[in-house]
A and B are shown apart, each in its own frame.
Chain A
Amino acid sequence: MEILVGVKRVPTVGGAITLTADRRAIDTKASGFTISPHEECAVEEAVRLVERCGGSVTVVTLGPAIAEEQLRSCLALGASGAVLIETEPGVEAGPIATAAALHAVAAGGRFDLVLLGNEASDTGDYQVGIRLAHLLGWPAATGIKALAVDDATGSVSASRTYRGVLETFALELPCVVTVKEGINLPRYPSLPGRLRAKRAAITRVPGPAAAADGDVRMTSLRVPDAPRKQATVLGQGAAAVPALVDVLVELGVVS
């Protein structure tokens, strides 16, 4: 089975988000970079499928040249091919442009399955997988937390929870599936994996020069106002329980 996994380089957000002076990006001078937890799980799921069924995993990213770091991390986990769709620094491709760029790579290979994270942790557009599926003419399932693929018949069973109900979708390969954290527990890279990743060749293709016409156009970013004021301290340890009960009554949680 040939699997394509899409990942995205995003800043590692720690204590607080700070913005650049023009308020159009996160200030990343002091931050590391990673891929979204959903995407780590997509890579892991793909590697497990290939370990079981044979085939290979190719990772693809749309991003600046330095996003090669994230591709190599995925190679260390068991992917064997990597494609960097290289954007100019500062160009933020929206979901329509991203789906189109991924489509060019997906359609150029002989893939049975495309796995993505349900949403990128930074922009959270919630649509790239579905737009890609429509461009490919493939079915899609999103937000998936349990995936079973029968490589003999090509049938796929994909489940998620929705408002306390388990929803299961039956699909056929080829298809696009977007997954969420919790579908598996991603492995740590092995030493041989890291060494192999260091030497692996990365295919580079040019990306979109600018955001696509008609995409949602970001004008600026802002950090929401801290919604809460300084906490009222109710006391120390179990001695605070009477005050705590009073608050629960005040909030209407207990009568």
Chain B
Amino acid sequence: MTVFCLVELDGGEADGGAAEAADVSLRAITFARGLAAGGVAAVVFVGGAPAGGSSSADGAEPGVGAGLVADLAAYGVADVYAVSGIDGYAPLAWARVLQSLIRESGHGVVAAGTERGNEVLAHLGAITGRPMAANCTQAVDNGGDGYAIVRQRWAGLLLEEAVLEGPTALLTVATDAVAAVPDEVGTTATVHQVVPSVDGSDLVVRAVETPAGAGGASLATARVVVGGGRGVGSADGFGPLEELAALLGGVVGVSRVVTSEGWRPHTMQVGQTGTKITPDLYLACGISGAIQHFAGCSGAKSIIAINTDATAPMMTRADYAVIGDLHAVIPALTEALRQRRGASD
């Protein structure tokens, strides 16, 4: 069977030419490879304009850039379906396109466990009458009549082993549980242009996109996150953390107490009901480490904790710990990094 993988793009849906596959989608493709004896096909929604020029699949590749196709091929994708003619993100219309692809050739659909991935696959589950399993960490084909899966509950604090019956797997992949690994056997991918006929009723719910913040890296994709919790003490206490984050090219994230105190907005919250982060480094300052917070930060490659309480869960579960007051450690660290940078200039 072929597994169709919904590929989300960095750099905007409307401009497929410049966009790159989102890291979470490369993770989903890596996951799909383990499931797809018949290969992985990527499905890319390239935006409103129908593919220009000739409709034949040979020659130019309108909508998807050669760089994107090569990147997908490096991850083992043999076929790229470039879907045009749908203006912007319309979850139900996207699900209909995926439905037509699996109807024509059987098979399953995998997406990253993002807002869009979970939403599109839930629609696909509803319109096909099939079960959908969200935030999977493993899946094994039981030989045509179902799948043995492992999926996250409690945002990953608990794992569920489950059976998904039937030949069609609709799965999303936990964004923090599977690494993106290129395929050992390099391949080349064939691009197929898809211009679906879309029923207007499937476009009723459609996203209008506007930039959310003033530039700045997104918490979900930042390579460095400087976390602040109750120990920061006040809204004003975040200044040194923001300074350090800027110096490290990262962003500030916060624990739930910080948002319920109103020190920082909920958009900055890391955890089960906030954002799941997957940085190279999470520097957790004055965060005790409630279990719901770990659900959001356990995808970090490394965790350094700074806390006055050496027995706090964040301190014992981190890779590195500094016992002390963040109000002394953070400014000293920032100063040391500045001096180091100055010396190397």
Contacts and interface: CB of A to CB of B under 8 A. Distances in A.
A168 B205 CA distance: 10
B325 interface: yes
Interface stretch (A61-69, A82-90, A133-141, A190-198): A133-141
A30 interface: no
Given A130-B122, A230-B316, A214 B205 contact: no
A212 to B, nearest CB: 9
B236 interface: no
A238 B274 contact: no
Interface string B94-136: 0000000000000000000111101101110111011111110
Interface in B158-204: 158-166, 172, 204
A124 B273 CA distance: 11
Interface string B296-340: 001001111100001001011111111111001100110011001
B291 A182 contact: no
Given A13-B291, A170-B208, A221 B165 contact: no
B172 A17 contact: no
Nearest to B318: A231
Contact of B118 (A126, A145, A247): A126
Contacts of A14: 291
A125 B134 contact: yes
B135 A164 contact: no
Interface residues of A, number: 83
A230 B212 CA distance: 39
A161 B212 contact: yes
A20 to B, nearest CB: 12
Interface string B145-159: 000010111111111
A247 B329 contact: no
B218 interface: yes
A227 interface: yes
Interface in A10-45: 13-17, 26, 36-38
A216 B162 contact: yes
A-B pairs, 8 with minimum CB distance:
A182-B266, A237-B324, A127-B122, A164-B218, A238-B332, A167-B207, A134-B126, A130-B122
